[in-house]
Structure 1
């Protein structure tokens, strides 16, 4: 995604949900990135970014930067009528019904100050969500 922030650092937390027609949500996976650790190295492939986390590079406030979040690997079957919802935030709830799905090292310290985020999505800034989809067969279709 392409984003502009008004501080030298922030956290990006992406939660991907399966939303039923009733509105009930089930957490599928999460992704995390500290803005100052946005560097990618040559192990990166489309849909599988690799952040070496060897140094912090402060963000220039007001400058649009590309941030590539890696989602924890997952597998899910979406039932008819269900939809995917991508929820982006800069902080995570310390406790909610879905935290039990997170790895024990998945919690991040907040930045500690308010940060304004502006996400860009236009021809020059093609923010997107890349997911691997497969068309499976069910027992009824075999």
Structure 2
């Protein structure tokens, strides 16, 4: 199903990229990519009519500079998936501002070029959250 990360963060420049990987971590430590998402911070504006909580839609028309050092919410859509995380496994969320080419070689072959500027990212985990689809256990 659809998934979305609502990330609250402050940066010290007017733009950055947010790259998100959702991983399935097996009990033996093996990590498998479930899905990915990305958002250019300056294209964070939402289409309020088309968006749903689990599927934020960004028109990406005109870039809007990010207010410096202010907490901003970024609604980041992740690619839908039908993967089920098994009992005993963990979910890991990786957030970064540029692609890690080595980890992307086995994924979809899309690579985002980084902004060529140093940006300080402060993520506020207490007010950030992720929406994931849930399949209830069958009643016995």
Match for residue 134 of structure 2?
133
Q: Does the CA contact (< 8 Å) of 2:99 and 2:113 recur in 1? A: no
Q: Does the CA contact (< 8 Å) of 2:42 and 2:64 recur in 1? A: yes
Q: Deviations over 1:1-54 (max 9, x none)?
A: 110001110000110000001111000000100000000012011110001111
Is 1:2 equivalent to 2:8 in the alignment? yes
After TM superposition, give the deviation of residue 108 of structure 1 in Å: 1.2
Q: Which runs of 5+ in 2 are unaligned?
A: 1-6
Where in structure 2 are the equivalents of 1:12-27 lying within 5 Å?
A: 12-27=18-33
How many residues align? The count is 133
After TM superposition, give the deviation of residue 95 of structure 1 in Å: 3.0
Match for residue 114 of structure 1?
118
SS at match of 1:100: coil
Bigger share in strand: 2
User: 2: CA distance between counterparts of 1:100 and 1:136?
Assistant: 32
Equivalent of 1:36, from 26, 37, 42? 42
User: 2: CA distance between counterparts of 1:25 and 1:118?
Assistant: 26
After TM superposition, give the deviation of residue 107 of structure 1 in Å: 1.9
The TM-score normalised by the length of structure 2 is 0.87
Q: Which runs of 5+ in 1 are unaligned?
A: none
After TM superposition, give the deviation of residue 136 of structure 1 in Å: 6.0
User: 2: CA distance between counterparts of 1:121 and 1:87?
Assistant: 13
User: 2: CA distance between counterparts of 1:4 and 1:79?
Assistant: 34
